[in-house]
């Protein structure tokens, strides 16, 4: 099983939607929020996804389809 970390940014219209829950339910990945700052109009999160690599890639594509900006975290910066 692979484990990958991503920095995601929410547009204002997605702040109140349970997108992390939806991704965990729609795809075979375990979601782990490592850090986050979510406010009334902006939000970001460092998110760890664990699962098969292909399923993680599908989950990332699903986040992007929902309008979430997703960037990989290259270094282990959230431990």
Q: Which domain holds residue 37?
A: 2-72
| Residue 77 located in a structural domain | no
> In terms of Cα–Cα distance, which of 31, 60, 28 is closest to 48?
31
**What is the number of domains present in the chain?**
1
Beta-bridged to residue 31, according to DSSP, are 49
Number of H helices, E strands in the chain: 2, 4
CATH classification of the domain holding 13: 3.30.70.260
pLDDT tens digits for range 5-25: 999 999 999 999 999 999 999
Q: Is the pTM of this model over 0.85?
A: yes
Residue 78 included in any domain:
no
For residue range 52-71, what is the model confidence (pLDDT) as tens digits? 999 999 999 999 999 999 99
Q: Is residue 10 part of a domain?
A: yes
For residue range 20-51, what is the model confidence (pLDDT) as tens digits? 999 999 999 999 999 999 998 889 999 999 99
Q: Does some domain include residue 29?
A: yes
Asked whether residue 79 is domain-assigned, the answer is no
Residue 23 lies in a domain: yes
């Amino acid at each position: 099983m692979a484990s990958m970390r991503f920095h995601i940014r929410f547009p204002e219209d997605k702040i109140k939607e349970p997108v992390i829950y939806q991704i965990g339910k729609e795809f075979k990945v375990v979601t782990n929020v490592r850090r986050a700052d979510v406010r009334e109009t902006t939000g970001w999160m460092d998110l760890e996804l664990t699962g098969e690599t292909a399923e993680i890639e599908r989950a990332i594509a699903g986040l992007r389809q929902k309008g979430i900006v997703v960037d990989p975290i290259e270094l282990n910066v959230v431990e």
